[in-house]
Structure 1
Amino acid sequence: MARLVRSLRDSEPVARFQRHCGLFPATSEVGERGARRAVGVGNGGSRPSGTWDVRDFGGDAASPEHRPRPPADCATRNGSPSNSRKDHLHEYVVKNYFYYYLFTISAAMGQEVFYITFLPFTYWNINPYVGRRLIIMWSVVMYIGQVTKDLLKWPRPCSPPVVKLEKRAIAEYGMPSTHAMASTTISFTFVIATMNIYKYHFELGLMGAFVFSTLVGLSRIYTGMHTVLDVIVGSLISGLLVALMYPTWDFLDHLMITSPWCPIFCIVVPLLLCYNYPKLDYYSPTKADTTTILGASAGSGVGFWINNHSVTNYSAELVSPPSITAEMVLMALSKFLVGICFLVVIRQIIKSMALRALCSWYKVSVDDPIAGHRTEIEVPYKFITYFSIGLSATVLVPLLHEVLRLN
C-alpha cells in the first residue's frame, strides 16, 4: 500500500499522462509548425520562462511575509520537495489539440468562472431548492479542501518532467485537489437534489456527474497541477462529505430559511473561519480564495433567509422536467445575462469602495500590492465584496427579474 501511495504521489505518472495526451516540454529539436505553445517566454531583458519571480503573485522581493512560496513544488520519488528555480517550465509543445482544448475547458469547470455562472444560473433558472444545496455543499467542501492543503503542505508535481500550464496555482500546495473536490461535490449534489424534484433516469444523471468530475480531475493532471493521488483523495473526500451531509440537507435548509439566528450565524461563523485560517510564512492565494468562497456563501445564506418564501417554490412531488422550448431557452438566457451583468456592476462598485475605505482606515495606498495581502485588509475586503455578490444574487437579482418580467 505504501508503495502504491508513493507511486500515485510521484511526478512520473503525471508526465506520462501528459505525453500520452500529446503535451511535451519544448526542446530545441521540436520545430513542428503550429505545435509550439510558449507561455512567459523571456526576450531581451525579460525573465526566461523557466524562472520564478515574487512579482508574478503580487508580492515584493523585499517583504518575506508577503512573499509567495518558493517553487518547492516538486514531488520527487522520495517525497521531498525541490527548491530548484527551474521547476516552473512554461514552454511546451502541443501535438494533440483535442486533448489540449478538452482538458483546458474541463479545468475551467473547477474555477471561479464556473462557480459564478453555474451556481447563480441554477438558483435563477432551475430551482432555488437545488441552488441552496449546491451553495451549502460547495462552501463546506471547499473550505475543508483549502484548509487541508495548508495543513498538509504537500508539494505539487515536479517540473521537469511535468509541464505546468497554470501560473497562479503554483503558489499553492497540492493535496488535495480542490478542483476535484468541487466538481465531484457540485455534480453529484446536483443529481441527488434534482432527483427529488424531477423525473428522469437517475442512472443517466449519475453517469453525467461521473463523466463531469472525471474530466475535471484528469484536467488537473494534464495541466500538471496535481498528482494522481491529489485528485483521487480530493474526489474521495468530497464524495464522503456529500454522503455524510445528505441526510441533514432538509434540516439545514429549513433551519437556514426560518431561524432568526441565521443572518448572525452566516456572518459571524465564516468571518471567524477566515480570520483563523492556518497561517503560513509566505503569501498564498488560498486564504483569499477561501474568504471569497465563504463571503459569497454567507451573503447567499442571508439572502435565503430573506427569501424564506422560496421554500415553497418547488414541489415535494416528483414532476417531469418541462419540455425545452425556444421561448424557455431565451428566457433563461435573458435572466442569466441580466443577473450576471448586474453582479459584475455590484462587484466593481463594492470592491472599489471596500478597498478604498480599508486602505484609508489603515493609512496605506490603494495601489500598494502588499497592502492588499495584509490580513486586516484582505479578509474584510474580500468578504464584504463577495458577501454583497451572494446577497445580490439571491435577493436583488430575482427582484430585478420581476421588475423586468423575466419570470
Structure 2
Amino acid sequence: MTIQPFTLEIPQAEVDDLQARLRSARWPVTPAVDDWSRGVPVDYLRELAAYWADGYDWRAAEAALNAIPQFVTEIGGQRIHFFHQKSAEPNALPLILTHGWPGSPVEFQAMIGRLTDPVAYGGDAGDAFDVVVPSLPGYGFSTPLGPAGFNLFGVAQMWAELMSRLGYDRYGAHGTDAGSGVTGMLTMIDAEHVVGAHLAGVTAAAPFAGPVSTDGLSESDKTRAETFNRYLEDGLGYLTLQSTRPQTLAYGLNDSPIGQLAWIVEKFAEWTDPAHKLPDEAVDRDQLLTNVSLYWFTGSGASSAHAVYDGMQAWKAMLAQQPGGEAAAASWGPASPPPTGVAVFGAETAIKSLVDPAGAMTHWTEYERGGHFAAMEVPDLLTTDLQTFFRPLR
C-alpha cells in the first residue's frame, strides 16, 4: 500500500555508455533504394543517432521530467511508476492517462500543464484535472515485469487499485493504443468509480481479425478501411515478432541503442500524420528521443516486447472462450455503463460503424490533423477533446 516519491536519476556512466555505443555503431550497407519502403533509411537514422549522441541533452530532459511529481508503488507484485500532478483548482476531476506501445508517460508530458491548469492556456478553470500517468507494467520504471505478466484486464485492476490508493472515488480515464484497451476494461471492473472513458489510437478492427469490408462505407470511412487493410498486409511485422519471439528480439533491443531507436522510430514514421515527411517533424525531436532514451535506460525495449507477448496470449485465450471467436473480437462492442468517447486523429483507422455498431458511444470526434501519437503531435486538440467529453460528467 506504500506510495513513495520517485526521482529519475540515470547514472552518468550509463549516459556515457549510450553515447559511446552510438558513436561506435556498426552500420549496415546502404540498400540500393534508401527510402522508407524497406524500413528506416540508413542515412536518416545515422543523422538522428548522431544528434542523439552529441546534440540531445538527456540531463535537460531528465530535469524536465523531474519537475513533474513522480511516485512508485507495488500492486500485485508489480512495481508501478507514475506521474501525479494535482491541479490548484479545488474541483478538479481526477484523470488517469494510459499510454501504449511504443509510448511511455513521456507521451503526455506536453499535456499535463494544459490539463491541470487550463486557465494558463486560455481555458476555463472548471475544466481542470488532477492527472495520473502510470507506466504500463514492463515499460519505463514499471519494471521488471512482474510474475503476473501483462494483460489488459490485470492492468485495469491495478489502475483501479492505484486510483483508490490515491483517494479518488470518482475519476475519468483516457487511453491510447493498448492503453485504450486498459481504459475500456476499467469501465467494466470499476464502473462505480469511473465517470467516463475517452479513447484514442483505436483501429478499425483487431490486428489479426482480417481485412475490413468497404461495402456501405462513406468515402472517408472507406479510406480509413483501406488504410487499415494495407496495415494488415504490410505493417504487422513488429507485432508478429513481439507476440511470438520476444526473447529473440530482446537481445538486439537491449544491447544496441541503434536497434532500439530504429524499432521505435519506424512506428513514429508510419503512424504519425502523413502530412509530415519525417517522424521528428510530426513530433518534437527531443521528446521523441526522450521516449526512446527511457526505453534504453530501463531496458524496457525487451520487457515491453514480453508484455506484448503476454497480452497477445491473454487475448487469444479470451477468443477461445468467446462464442464467435475472432469475429466477436473484431468489434469493441457496445459501450459499458460509464459514457465512452472516441477521438480519431488524421490518418487513424477507427470507423464508428465498426467500433460502435450499437451507437452507444456518447462522443465521437474526427480531426484532420494528428495521428496515432496525438498527445505528442496535437496536444491542443486532444486536450480540448478531453475537456469537451468530460465537461458534462463532472
Name the TM-score, length of structure 2 as normaliser. 0.28
The structure carrying a bigger helix percent of its residues is: 1
The structure carrying a bigger strand percent of its residues is: 2
